[in-house]
Amino acid sequence: MIDVDARLRPVTLDEWPAFAHAMHDVFAEEAPASFAERPSSVAELDRSLSMWEGDRVVATAGTYSRTLAVPGALVPCAGITWVTVAPTHRRRGVLTAIMRRQLTELHEQQREPVAGLWAAEYPIYGRFGYAPATREARFSGRTERLRLRPDVDLGAGRVEQVTAEEYRPAAVAVHAAVHRWVPGNMVRDDRWWDRHMRDDPSGRHGASARRYLLHREADGTVTGYAAYRVKGAWSDTGEPDGTLTVEEMRATGTPAYAALWQVLLSVDLVRTLKYPAASPEDPLRWLVTDARALHSTPVDGLWVRLVDVDRALAARRYPAPIDLVLEVRDPFCPWNDGRWRLSGHPAGGYCGPTDRDPDIVLGIEELSAAYLGGVPLAALQAAGRVTEVSPGAVTLASTAFSWPVTPWCPDNF
């Protein structure tokens, strides 16, 4: 049996091309030339992990230093990424060693109390305590059936097409104004905006270059933005049959949001709309005359893992008062295993160890799923994954863990 942990180490800048090639090879992808030659500006090589077999990379992983919006607060979050194991080294404990190293270092160094990742395959990460805490709605529909209701307020502003250079500073300001109110959103600094704005031709898949819209009020203030692409097509009878894909859309109010949609639903030669990374509660479904014409495919989004139960639960806010003892089962991170008294309210929270009898017993996976307020503990109880000890405790906890805004993460990393 190989000593995997002893062989895991950060990758160096000189080793990056081999690291990048190995990572993309597992995903059956060709690394973009710019990424294959040197890491992007958001990469943190000191937080990477690699395992080598001679001059060949057989395992990769990385961590981004991110900040996550949680109910009522912003919390440092370890963005887990680049996780691959070569087919020749599967079932040897390599992935388990990577996950344990990452979580142990976060705990021992008192870094981010929460970790998050995007799961390529659903069954993998639950055994390490991660759980899907946000969902996405992959919207699609035929534009001839998608029309705004006649009573929708479009305001007195205007929508204009702009260049990337005009778009970016305005979008940054709008994003900064809205992201903190949506659990699951990530803070974006200049490096992350650089990455977000990148538009490599190899990633367009036959569609146009990215196009940009801004919504301006009468006084010139920007209150909304949208980024989209169009892929032209023609039917067998010669009719236009293009597809418009919305990549991102944010606004500070309903009139700006509706005005942007009015433009997007009216683009010439387009017959199909796609919005693949929308919030499951996006207001678009309530803005159109025929909500059945807006088809929605729900998929899991950001997976969350509480690294330190006490710090993570104390960091968020609770819309209803709660004072309960949670008995948490966490065999993978034993420092979390035990009983925790959680006392919270709309202004803050406290969580610390206790020897009191538990009101609820649950695993770290279930607690992580509920953390952002989108997965009710009552639903997990109905699935047999949460045990209520004190009568009414699950109802109380479900209410306190909930949040008025549906969790949503538009930042895939």
Question: What confidence tens digit (pLDDT) does each residue in 128-168 have?
Answer: 999 999 999 999 999 999 999 999 999 999 999 999 999 99
Is 93 annotated as a binding-site member? yes
Give the domain extent around 284: 137-298
The span from the CA of 128 to the CA of 348, in Å, is: 28
Domain end, chosen from 298, 326, 350, is at 298
Instruction: Specify whether 294 is located in the same domain as 316.
Output: no
34-38, 191-195, 211-215, 328-332 — which is least confidently predicted?
34-38
Is 246 annotated as a binding-site member? no
Read off the pTM: 0.95
Instruction: Specify whether 268 is located in the same domain as 320.
Output: no
Domain end, chosen from 273, 298, 323, is at 298
Q: Contact at 8 Å (CB) between 290 and 272? A: no
Mean pLDDT, rounded, for 278-306: 97
Is 96 annotated as a binding-site member? yes
Is 204 annotated as a binding-site member? no
**Within a 10 A sphere around the Cβ of 186, how many other Cβ atoms?**
22
- Total number of domains constituting the chain: 3
Greatest mean pLDDT range, 2-11, 26-35, 383-392: 383-392
Is 4 annotated as a binding-site member? no
The residues carrying an active-site annotation are 125, 413
Is there a domain that residue 412 lies in? no
Instruction: Specify whether 215 is located in the same domain as 190.
Output: yes
Task: Enumerate long-range contacts of 229-235, CB under 8 Å, 24 or more apart.
Answer: 229/204, 230/267, 230/269, 230/270, 231/205, 231/206, 231/207, 232/208, 232/269
Is 329 annotated as a binding-site member? no
pLDDT at 1: 55
Instruction: Specify whether 332 is located in the same domain as 367.
Output: yes
Instruction: Specify whether 60 is located in the same domain as 187.
Output: no
Domain end, chosen from 263, 298, 333, is at 298
Q: Are strands 73-85 and 56-70 parallel, antiparallel or unpaired?
A: antiparallel
C-alpha torsion 322→184→10→44, nearest 10: -120
Instruction: Specify whether 272 is located in the same domain as 241.
Output: yes
